Amino acid sequence: MSQYLITGGVPISGKIKASGNKNAALPCIAAAILSSKPVILRNIPDIEDVQVMLDVYRSFGGSVERLEPNGYRLSLGDIKSSRVPAEAARKIRASILFAGPLIARTGKAVLPPPGGDVIGRRRLDTHFLALTELGAAVTTKRAFTFTAKKLKGADIFLDEASVTATENAVMAAVLADGKTIITNAASEPHVQDLCRMLRSMGAIIEGIGSNILTITGVKNLGPCDYSIGADYMEVGSFIGLAAATRGEMEITGPRPSDLRPAKIAFGKLGIVWEHEGAVLRVPKNQTLKINHDLGGMIPKIDDAPWPGFPPDLTSIIIVVATQVEGTVLVHEKMFESRMFFVDKLIGMGARIVLCDPHRAVISGPSRLAGSELTSPDVRAGMAMVIAAMTAEGSSVIRNVYQIERGYENLVSRLSALGAKIERQG
């Protein structure tokens, strides 16, 4: 099993280009099924999750041509299979995203239960609600089987603002008969990216960026050449890394609007950055000190669906808070197992009280010591990388497959910033 060997205590410094948004790339690959014409996708991150999604696309009879390091041409005429391979489904939760487009194109989709990160219960009920409202029948014995002679537009109210359920509903609705209204829709930047891609293919979608999407079905979709936006989760991780190591960084590519919720949360830790055009600059030697709420109260950072603070940055901000003077409460409201890596930080010397599975009180700054760690999921794994780079001495992080599912060429990119990190195995 591969692992990272990291020697901490080195401030990072340099320039880096933001990768494409993983959470936009995955649904956009699934959406390519909706057209029998070639679809070109650019700024696709070179990560494991993307390769798994491309393998699933190939399993339906599609061809994948690499045009450039982060660009692909996807072509799928006649669909040979409507079944997602079981092995791929176990590897990646995003395999559920093939349900909507497969039903829309073939009238059937068979999906084994999806795998992915172990961060608590991640219900699929909202997917079933949306697709059945559009006219699909569902059976759940061993695999999830969806069937529909023809999808029909519907007025859908989602029981939660699920990102992937919204994406599935949108992809199914673009080829349905009539008009579909999706209320309580997720509106994250990656959902917006998917909707813009579909519009470039000829879909009729209104309300992009809001929680009410109106889709008027069309008979077919055409080709497109679409470039997805920067991964603001990766950018947030790098901002945290720069601040925690007392370093500096220049990041090219992020959209300022994608980082507004993160800027408020990081600002509570005294962390600032400058955004000029397409370049974000994190200054070195920041005064990392908690900004108290009015009346000197301990501030709270809590996650929420967009435009709230992104839950994928909760792990990152917990680690960064260990290096900040003062006390902060972090409340993870969306996944009950997201904080189950906190005991490892405590073992490194962090002063954290884990109140329950959802809340942690962090007091800093703490001197962390190198340790042996195992990555449980993508974001906690990256949080461990940041912890190891701020710690005194050396750390070993195992199960780095989980980290590399979400971060492109991480070792080489961090090494170029001066990090002492080595991949072994």
Over residues 7-53, the pLDDT tens digits come to 999 999 999 999 999 999 999 999 999 999 999 999 999 998 999 99
Question: How does residue 188 score in pLDDT terms, banded at 50, 70 and 90?
Answer: very high
The CATH class given to the 3-19+230-424 domain equals: alpha beta
**Mean pLDDT along residues 67-73:** 96
Q: Check pLDDT > 80 for residue 121.
A: no
Average pLDDT of the residues of the chain: 93
Strands 3-7 and 420-424: antiparallel
Q: Annotated active-site positions, please?
A: 117
Residue whose structure tokens are 């099993």: 1
Amino acid found at 299 = P
Amino acid found at 267 = G
The pLDDT score that the predictor gives to residue 115 is 59
Q: Where are the domains of the chain?
A: 3-19+230-424, 22-227
Q: Check pLDDT > 90 for residue 125.
A: no
* Residue 81 near residue 62, CB atoms below 8 Å: no
Fold of 22-227: UDP-n-acetylglucosamine1-carboxyvinyl-transferase; Chain (3.65.10)
How many residues in total does the chain contain?
Answer: 425
Whole-number Å distance between alpha carbons of 208 and 258:
14
pLDDT in tens, 328-366: 999 998 877 788 899 999 999 999 999 998 999 999 999
How many Cβ atoms sit within 10 Å of the Cβ of residue 425? 8
**Mean pLDDT along residues 319-331:** 97
Q: Check pLDDT > 60 for residue 252.
A: yes
Q: Which helix (H) or strand (E) holds 243?
A: helix 232-244
Q: Do domains 3-19+230-424 and 22-227 have the same CATH topology?
A: yes
Q: What is the percentage of the chain residues whose pLDDT exceeds 70?
A: 98
Q: Return the DSSP state at 95.
A: G
Residues 6+ apart with CB under 8 A from 87: none
pLDDT in tens, 374-407: 998 899 999 999 999 999 999 999 999 989 988 9
Whole-number Å distance between alpha carbons of 319 and 295:
26
Whole-number Å distance between alpha carbons of 206 and 217:
12
**Mean pLDDT along residues 164-175:** 97
**Residue whose C-alpha is closest to residue 186's, from 207, 167, 172:** 167
pTM listed for this prediction: 0.92
Q: Check pLDDT > 70 for residue 123.
A: no
Q: Which residue has better confidence, 22 or 114? A: 22
Tokens representing residue 204 in the block: 């009729």
pLDDT in tens, 274-310: 999 899 999 998 889 999 999 999 999 999 999 999 9
166, burial (CB in 10 Å: exposed 0-12, middle 13-18, buried 19+):
buried
**Residue whose C-alpha is closest to residue 246's, from 5, 7, 6, 9:** 9
Q: Which CA distances in Å does 231 have to 62, 351, 371, 415?
A: 26, 30, 29, 20
Q: Check pLDDT > 50 for residue 118.
A: no
Residue whose structure tokens are 């069309």: 218
**SS3 (DSSP) at 79:** coil
Q: Around 189, how many Cα atoms within 13 Å sit in the side-chain half-sphere?
A: 22
